[in-house]
Structure 1
Amino acid sequence: MRDRRVLIDTDAFIGWMVETDAHHPAALKAFAFVRQQRLEPMTIQPVIGEGLTLLSRRQGQAQARQFMQLVLALPAIAIDDTLHQDTLALFAEQRRKGTSYVDMANVAVMHRLDIPLILSFDKVYTRDFGLDNLSRVSESPPARTQESSM
């Protein structure tokens, strides 16, 4: 059986929860795919903090608390000292303006824990790190395989 873990990034959560977000339709489709394929969504603790902050600022505390309740049901990977150092090293290697610590933490976690997929609308994961991004299901659904039809 293949690895079914998928790391969820902040923008995917925001897109899923905020109807006026540009990624809302694609996020709904991607989360439906996660559910239908029985993938195992997880996130990292910095994504939770970033999501809470963004939702509180943009939508208010009520929606931030709703997000907190939803995300508490998922495994949340802590950034220990080793992952923090890996994240800082990745961050230092980047040359693009606007590099995100949280994005680099996602990359470090995916590498360290061999997580095969991320759900994000940021291009950095595929463009700069060659990671498989589940957000592509919103562009064109992946071909059904024998395994995914079970």
Structure 2
Amino acid sequence: MVMPNPVAARWVLVDTGPLYAYLDRKDPDHPKAVTGFVGYRAESRPLYVTNYILAEAHALVLNRLGYFASRSFLQAALEDFNVVRATAVDELRAWEIVKGRVDRPFTYCDAVTVAVMERLGIPLAFSFDTRLRELG
């Protein structure tokens, strides 16, 4: 059972989609990403990413926007976001989530995100992924 964390009630876990869309002005979700980040910053909400999301977003930026964009992204992300490392318990919980989603497959990265949110009591994910919103 996850205990409520009153401190984490203001935290936002940021998914890969908004991170990438914010950087790529050609991405159809770019305006939503900008609006979301501006809004969360205006509300002084702490923004978190998992080490899995950071790795996934870095790979996406590297493959689509190139080395220099990926390097700048990683430097900014490490400075601007709170990075939460997934634990072994999170990874086991993620495996349970993946095994249990036969009807609608879930990526391991997304399952780790859900597990971390459960563990820390983070109520909100900034994500464009409908599957993540189903569990979160």
What TM-score do the two structures reach when normalised by structure 1? 0.81
Tell me what 2:69 maps to: 63
Structure 2 counterpart SS, 1:43? strand
Higher RCO (C-alpha under 8 Å, 6+ residues apart): 2
What percentage of aligned pairs have identical amino acids? 26
Contact between 2:106 and 2:131, CA under 8 Å: does it hold in 1?
no
Q: RMSD of the alignment, in Å?
A: 1.5
Tell me what 1:87 maps to: 94
Structure 2 counterpart SS, 1:39? coil
Q: How far off its partner does 1:99 sit?
A: 2.2
Tell me what 1:103 maps to: 110
CA distance in 2, matches of 1:64, 1:55: 5
What TM-score do the two structures reach when normalised by structure 2? 0.89
Structure 1 counterpart SS, 2:71? helix
Closer, same or farther in 2 for the Cα pair 1:21/1:96, shift >3 Å?
Answer: farther
Task: List gaps (5 residues or longer) in structure 2.
Answer: 1-5
Tell me what 1:52 maps to: 58
**Equivalenced residues, count:** 129
Structure 1 counterpart SS, 2:95? helix
CA distance in 2, matches of 1:34, 1:62: 27
Tell me what 1:34 maps to: 40
